[in-house]
Amino acid sequence: MPAFSLSIDAAQLLAQIHTLGAIGADESDGGRTRVAASDEDKLGRDQLVQWMRDLLLEVRVDRMGNIFGILRSPSDEGDRQPLMIGSHIDTVRNAGALDGSYGVLAGLAVVRAYRAAGVSPKRSIIVAAFTNEEGVRYQPDMTGSLVYAGGLPVEVALDLIGTDGTRLGDELARIGYAGDLEPGAILPREYLELHVEQGPILEAEGQLIGVVDNLQGISWQKITVRGVANHAGTTPTRMRHDAGYVAAAIITFLREIVVGAAPETTLATTGSIRFEPDVINVIPRLATFTVDLRDPNEQRLQSAERQLSDFLAEIAEREGVTIECERLARFEPVIFDAALAADIEASARGLGFSYRRMTSGAGHDAQMIARIAPAAMIFVPSRGGISHNPREHTDEAHLVCGAQVLLDVVQRRLAAD
């Protein structure tokens, strides 16, 4: 390890988390909403870019709106690839302050440690904020990092139409973040992402640091059921083609298969549903809803998808409705880089922090960047395992410990050159 000593400015990191968390604040309940490429996302981006400039970073924005703050190493030669630290600052609706933002701002805290010590890193360090990680407005999720890693052509991504009918490319241009850098232009030698766990495991086990060595597969579909609208008071049950009932039956079926599976690793969620005409005394003629399926094992994920598809065929026939499925996202499980995970573990141990190896249940940009560079993640505990909720919380001391691990891993990697 290097002779000089670097440290995280805890107060500054926590203050920035607080300031960014106040942007896009919801009217009540302490949440915030900065969905990708919205006006609120622009305000968050502007603040982030300002902080990058304050640290005298070179700021680049690519065609996907991904933002990069680059701390150049004077010893950088063309073939010395940078170390990248990244995450996202877009949010779900009515979100907590930490999901994504913590990782980006901890990246700035690492850079600030170098700046404060007057030390230049042996390789350049890039802090990245990727566009539309959450996938709330545009699907697939993790769009910016997916494109960056070559998993989707940029033109296709910019043409994505959002849930509000907007085109992603138009919205990025409108908010001033349609950059000119080609996605993927800067290939990192390694990628690190620090994130709140968003689940209950670390807290329940009294562990401080999660060394994340794999991430489960994700399957997103939109299902449209077309039945026949009819009178709620006059139509006998056996004569109904009730899109609402069929939607409910599908959701119930999903719960049954995941609970019945052994091991019980598959997760199924319907987070969005809409009926038409959506009135109390009319049998719905249309139901549209989403299905989010996840499993760390690709075969089990495929099995859940197959069971769903068989059930759709069966219930469509039985109820006299038609059912269409649209694929919104599909990502296989990812195994992170073993050497990088070992470095995270060594840093946690060296700092005297308790830790455990774990799987990420949430999707992350690291899962995409793992296609082009060794990647791994660091987790800190989430109180009560709550996330995607304004009540998301991690103790300040734990947030600082996570950033210290990140800084230590960065120093470890750069010292190894």
User: At closest approach, how far in Å is the CB of 341 from Mn ion?
Assistant: 19
Q: Which is nearer to ligand GLV, 331 or 355 (CB)?
A: 331
> Taking a C-beta distance cutoff of 8 angstroms, is the pair 146, 161 a contact?
no
134 binds ligand GLV (CB under 6 A): yes
Give the residue with the Cβ less far from ligand GLV, 57 or 370: 370
Angle, alpha carbons 132-138-142 (nearest 5°):
35
Is residue 289 within a helix (H) or strand (E), and if so which, with residue range?
strand 286-295
Output the DSSP codes for 61-76: EBTT--EEEEE--TT-
Cβ distance to ligand GLV smaller for residue 323 or 377:
377
Residue closer to ligand GLV by CB (options 73, 87) is 87
Residue nearest to Mn ion (CB): 100
**363 binding partner (options Mn ion, ligand GLV, none; Cβ < 5 to 8 Å by kind):** ligand GLV
Residues 54-93, one symbol each (x = binds Mn ion by CB under 5 A, - = not), give: ----------------------------------------
Question: Angle of helix 101-117 relative to helix 39-54, nearest 10 degrees?
Answer: 10
Question: Restricting to residues 358-417, which ones interact with ligand GLV according to CB under 6 A?
Answer: 362-363
Q: Encoding tokens for residue 214? A: 């794999």
> What minimum distance in Å lies between the beta carbon of 365 and ligand GLV?
10
Min dist. Cβ of residue 105 to Mn ion (A): 13
Our finding on whether 100 is near Mn ion (CB under 5 A) is: yes
Indicate left, alpha or beta for 41 from its phi (over 0: left) and psi (-120 to 50: alpha). alpha
Interaction between residue 99 and Mn ion (CB under 5 A): yes
What letter represents residue 276's amino acid? E
Pick 141 or 305: Cβ nearer ligand GLV: 141
Q: What angle do CA 402, 135, 410 make, to 5 degrees?
A: 25
Q: Does 171 bind ligand GLV (CB under 6 A)?
A: no
Instruction: Give me the least distance between CB of 182 and Mn ion, in Å please.
Output: 25
CA neighbor of 405 nearest in space, from 355, 336, 370: 355
Residue 343 phi, psi dihedral angles, 5° rounding: -65, -40
* Site pattern 18..37 for ligand GLV (x: CB under 6 A): --------------------
Measure the N-to-C terminal CA separation of the chain; round to a whole number of Å: 11
Residue 100 site contact among ligand GLV, Mn ion, none (CB < 5 to 8 Å, cut-off depends on kind): Mn ion
Candidates 148, 27, 153, 26; CA nearest to 91 is 26
Interaction partner, residue 171 (ligand GLV, Mn ion, none; CB < 5-8 Å by kind)? none
SS3 196: strand
Which residues contribute to the site for Mn ion (CB under 5 A)?
99-100
Which residues contribute to the site for ligand GLV (CB under 6 A)?
134, 141, 362-363
